[in-house]
Amino acid sequence: MKKILVLCTGNSCRSQMAEGYLKYYTQNSAEIFSAGLEEHGVNPLAVKAMEEDSIDITGQYSKRINVFRGQHFDYLITVCDEATKKMLKGISFREKIHFSIPDPAAFQGSKESKLEEFRRVREIVRKNMLKFIGKALQENTEAAA
């Protein structure tokens, strides 16, 4: 079973969304985790935006990358530019994949416009996770042949 870690700055929005989509689309055929360089707590607007797409992330929680020290992952997926720049100590991975996704929590505006930004970013996350799954499945198919 493949082991995947999604990393971003605060583990509050983008990586939480990515974890939710990966769990949903892989249907428990992989171990999926998310973490942040910092721990900001799961953003309620991320929960709401995902709920609107029928993905429940209420059971997920924010955690720092250091809780995974000493572990090996098949894939490390970074979803923000800050996370991809950091040197990770004590975590190994076979392949690193980066998606530059904007931080919806940084958006300034009314509550409704903030939610709209979370929806927009949710779609970016969804498309990139589907792209990743397609790539990973293609690798697995080619390796089995």
Which region holds residue 91: left if phi is over 0, alpha if psi is between -120 and 50, else beta? beta
- Domain membership of residue 18 as a residue range: 2-144
Q: What is the pLDDT of residues 71-89, one digit of tens each?
A: 999 999 999 998 888 777 8
Q: What is the pLDDT of residues 7-59, one digit of tens each?
A: 999 999 999 999 999 999 999 899 999 999 999 999 999 999 999 999 999 99
Q: What is the pLDDT of residues 93-123, one digit of tens each?
A: 999 999 999 999 999 999 999 999 999 999 9
Domain count, the chain: 1
* Structure token pair of residue 79: 């979803």
Give the pLDDT of residue 135.
83
First-to-last CA distance in the chain? 18
* Structure token pair of residue 137: 């499945």
Query: Cβ–Cβ contacts within 10 Å for residue 107, how many?
Result: 16
Give the pLDDT of residue 11.
96
Q: What is the CATH number of the domain that holds 135?
A: 3.40.50.2300
